């Protein structure tokens, strides 16, 4: 099994100017690993990261959108997979950080932990390409190619918690962060 922050560090090596919509723990880590004005955090709206990202992907079809979702969050809005597949945004890549728990809410296990296949659910929902990774070297060897493919794409990362990152809710919800994101969006429209 991979450490989530190590996966995000690999992804950061390939990140250029994509919009990144990150949920909960992945958001906390991504903001430290790859600070960028086009980082959008979906914290406080559990399950809505994929829906927010779909809005960006549809509204900005020439801009690649990456979602850093959690399995607990996705379970709160599984219907989004069908909606995303139906909309079929070519610029949409959905990364799922699957650790089998509602980590942000105390680490309680999710229903079906270790049994449910999120990649199979995404495929059944209509995602044309789905991937699962539990080995960091394999993920690292494949991610460059995957990022070039046409979406929507679903990538299930089997992870465990890695290094502890600061939890800075004042920064996450600051007017300055929202303003910087809005200005960055305005610049690409």
* pLDDT for the residue numbered 165: 77
Which residues make Cβ contacts (< 8 Å) with residue 145, sequence separation at least 6? none
Residue 91 forms part of a structural domain: no
Residue 159 forms part of a structural domain: yes
Residue 142 forms part of a structural domain: yes
Residue 90 forms part of a structural domain: no
- Residue 2: name the closest of 122, 132, 129, 154 by CA: 132
pLDDT digits (tens, 9 = 90+) for 103-138: 776 778 888 888 999 999 999 999 999 999 999 999
Domain that holds residue 26: 2-85+97-175
- Residue 92: name the closest of 83, 100, 101 by CA: 83
* pLDDT for the residue numbered 85: 98
Q: Kindly report the CATH number assigned to the domain that includes residue 58.
A: 3.40.50.970
Between the alpha carbon of residue 159 and those of residues 68, 121, 133, 155, the distances in Å are 12, 18, 9, 12
Q: Which residues of the chain have pLDDT under 50?
A: none
Angle between helices 49-59 and 79-87 (to 10 degrees): 10
pLDDT digits (tens, 9 = 90+) for 145-160: 999 999 999 999 999 9
Instruction: Output the six-digit token pair for 11.
Output: 């992804």
Q: How far apart are the C-alpha atoms of 66 and 134, rounded to whole Å?
A: 19
Q: How far apart are the C-alpha atoms of 189 and 174, rounded to whole Å?
A: 23
Instruction: Output the six-digit token pair for 54.
Output: 């779909």
State what percent of residues in the chain have pLDDT above 70.
98
Q: How far apart are the C-alpha atoms of 38 and 36, rounded to whole Å?
A: 5
* pLDDT for the residue numbered 114: 87
* pLDDT for the residue numbered 22: 94
Instruction: Output the six-digit token pair for 171.
Output: 């920064």
The total of structural domains in the chain comes to: 1
Q: Are strands 2-3 and 108-109 parallel, antiparallel or unpaired?
A: unpaired
pTM for this predicted structure: 0.95
* pLDDT for the residue numbered 10: 98
Residue 181 forms part of a structural domain: no
The 3-state DSSP class for residue 67 equals strand
* pLDDT for the residue numbered 101: 85
- Residue 155: name the closest of 67, 76, 89 by CA: 67
């Amino acid at each position: 099994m991979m450490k989530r922050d190590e996966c995000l560090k690999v992804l950061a090596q390939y990140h250029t100017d994509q919009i990144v919509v990150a949920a909960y723990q992945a958001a906390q880590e991504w903001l430290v690993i790859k600070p960028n004005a086009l980082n959008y955090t979906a914290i406080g709206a559990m399950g809505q990261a994929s829906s927010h990202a779909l809005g960006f992907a549809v509204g900005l079809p020439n801009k690649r959108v990456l979602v850093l979702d959690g399995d607990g969050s996705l379970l709160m809005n599984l219907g989004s997979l069908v909606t995303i597949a139906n909309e079929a945004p070519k610029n949409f890549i959905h990364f799922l950080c699957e650790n089998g728990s509602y980590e942000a809410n105390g680490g309680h296990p999710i229903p079906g932990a270790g049994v449910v296949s999120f990649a199979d659910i995404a495929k059944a929902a209509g995602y044309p390409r789905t991937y699962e990774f539990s080995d960091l070297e394999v993920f690292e060897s494949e991610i460059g190619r995957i990022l070039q493919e046409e979406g929507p794409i679903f990538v299930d990362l089997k992870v465990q918690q890695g290094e502890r990152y600061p939890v800075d809710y004042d920064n996450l919800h600051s007017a300055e962060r929202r303003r910087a994101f809005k200005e960055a969006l305005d610049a690409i429209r």
